[in-house]
Structure 1
């Protein structure tokens, strides 16, 4: 249900648009002639959450009232809803608008996961992660993230296990469900932590420890295997049409830092997320191909 209210009672503030509203879009709405859809208003403040262009269009054509629907929630929740609404329909937010929205969300809710913020702002999770890294240093970042489903998850299993161990030490009789919920881990992990403490073991297995030295990645040189030039010289590949095609594809990937930077700079800013997602899909397909190629005596039919 929507109500009609006076335009004078509505407050136009706190828009996620950095450059304000688009006059041309306002004019298009004003001359359309059709009834304007209800605008979304924060009931406690009468601030317009979604529909400022419609408000301006209504004023331009001389209307005194407009239909509204109300939103109940905090100021932060109202801002999040405003960003979501402007991402999903109407005149889309610019990339700069969405990145600014990410920063504002991080200021209020740093514990939100990258995926949860990406869902709100219409950016990719890796982009949100990059913005988070630029905006905060490691010492100030929260040790947990709140996902889209509302569940709290630690940044690392080690942190969650240590938090659970602290809870168990302070309250040995605490229920597993409470321990898991407070520490942001599963009940199975909470049970394992309790069992390890009872045995006198470290609550964090070595495989989850930050202190464990990661294995050194294999060297990417001629000692690790044949390079691309060596593959091109192999007669069994040169005279195989399918193998030659594969070598051509690999040649495209064989670029240096300068070439990669030139590629990145040539992509318009508003399309970089699209290319990033496609690159990740291609990378996953190459990884699957590599796995299949390493299978011994694989019958390809």
Structure 2
């Protein structure tokens, strides 16, 4: 899929021709408020030669140019210059949105949001950026609409980007395939392997570098992704993050790594602040010994007092976190 309507649909648009006005039907317009009569009147009175409208050949409905059609009627014209679109009904709406976003009376934000929702329902395989390029919204806004409107049954294993390339949502299988292709032909170009494995050249480069270092070509996050859990309605929700159970003598670095991977901490400001503090204070025994040796004699008493204050603060945090009320909340969350 290319990013301009003219380029993307050129092979499905006919050459301009004159069409009887009475044979043209009203459009399936992305404009929620319909035709703006004042805008059509201004076009009619301008006397300008207006660009051809676009008509969906299969349905005779206007894809683009309802204001120009009404202006022709106001001028008393029997025919209008038009181009026929020979694509599908669902693609006709996409073209209507793209053309109305690119020129003429701009679509309002509500029009663009409604159009993006409809495109996501008819083209769930399109990436957020591909939809945003058509609807005139940010990819972030499209992603929010996708999460709101798409339910089970719309899930697709891959999405089509703005460049027309299909990329899997989980690249683990593609990475495995790329590693096999690299092993079979180490001198093959990144682009060639990317095309065969359905990945981007950047991902193939990462696979190649991992193989050179003797690492698994699939990152641990993709190898250990937790499956979704079905709820009572048959929809899917993410499985709650769970920390490994603590055992005596457990390495604090291992526990800290588990905390760093907890999205409920790393995706909030206070959570990130806590992780930074814990990372600073998670000191190995060897490092501890070197720190103690580096303290000069005149600063021993002050460093000891500050260390005790810090230890007291962390002990207070630990004590409050392990109250029956807090632990009860943890147990209830785990049992959900």
TM superposition score normalised by structure 2: 0.54
2:220 is the alignment partner of 1:220: no
| 3-state SS in 2 of match to 1:105 | helix
Count of residue pairs the alignment pairs up: 217
Larger radius of gyration: 2
Task: Quote the residue 2:110 is aligned against.
Answer: 96
CA contact (8 A) 2:55 2:62 kept: yes
Q: 2:41 aligns with which of 2, 24, 27?
A: 27
User: CA–CA distance in 2 between the matches of 1:129 and 1:32?
Assistant: 41
* Cα gap change, 1:140 to 1:68, in 2 (>3 Å): closer
Q: 1:16 aligns with which of 5, 9, 30?
A: 30
User: CA–CA distance in 2 between the matches of 1:68 and 1:149?
Assistant: 29
TM superposition score normalised by structure 1: 0.59
2:210 is the alignment partner of 1:157: no
> How far 1:29 sits from its partner (Å)?
1.0
| 3-state SS in 1 of match to 2:273 | coil
Query: What is the root-mean-square deviation of aligned Cα atoms in Å?
Result: 3.8
Unaligned runs of 5+ in 1: 169-176, 226-301
| 3-state SS in 2 of match to 1:20 | coil
Per-residue deviation, residues 181-213 of structure 1 (Å, max 9, x unmatched):
5863358978999xx9xxxx9874424334495
> How far 1:43 sits from its partner (Å)?
2.8
CA contact (8 A) 2:20 2:79 kept: yes
* Cα gap change, 1:133 to 1:22, in 2 (>3 Å): same
| 3-state SS in 1 of match to 2:55 | strand
Q: Which is further off, 127-136 or 201-210?
A: 201-210
Task: Quote the residue 1:76 is aligned against.
Answer: 90
Task: Quote the residue 2:299 is aligned against.
Answer: none
User: CA–CA distance in 1 between the matches of 2:166 and 2:156?
Assistant: 11
| 3-state SS in 1 of match to 2:42 | helix
2:170 is the alignment partner of 1:117: no
* Cα gap change, 1:104 to 1:210, in 2 (>3 Å): farther
CA contact (8 A) 1:26 1:56 kept: yes
